[in-house]
Amino acid sequence: MSDQERKCLECGERILGRVDKKFCSDHCRNAHNNKVNKDSKNLIRNINNRLRKNYRVLDSFPLHDGKTRTTRTRLLDKGFDFDFITNLYTTKKGTTYYFVYDLGYLPLENEYYMIVKRE
């Protein structure tokens, strides 16, 4: 394909330079990729924002010896969303901890939760 036939995928301007070049500028390349990835980026951004919020909520409780206790109500009042975690950890005894990165929680009796930090 000759230089005259090569057009920017974003704006349609003629492209000069390398033969494999698809865009006339960084601006057009970024604009094109932002359009192509818009839906998935919004989904990922929203999930990451929820995870960050959950992490901040867990981190707002002062830990003593790497753990503390709180109630479901206090977690919810601070905006915690129990649907968003990064991983689960199940002990040999079958106890499941729910983690947001290195901070986790363990459901206890009567709507209490133990918050822990993994070292």
| Mean pLDDT, range 57-65, rounded to an integer | 96
pLDDT score recorded for residue 100: 98
How many other C-beta atoms lie within 10 A of the C-beta of residue 116?
A: 20
**Domain extent listing, the chain:** 61-117
In the predicted structure, residue 2 carries a pLDDT above the cut 70: no
- Coil, strand or helix at 102: coil
Q: Do 69 and 112 touch, CB atoms closer than 8 A?
A: yes
pTM, entire model: 0.70
DSSP SS3 for 13 = coil
In the predicted structure, residue 106 carries a pLDDT above the cut 50: yes
Strand 96-100: give its sheet, edge to edge. 67-71, 112-117, 103-107, 96-100, 87-90
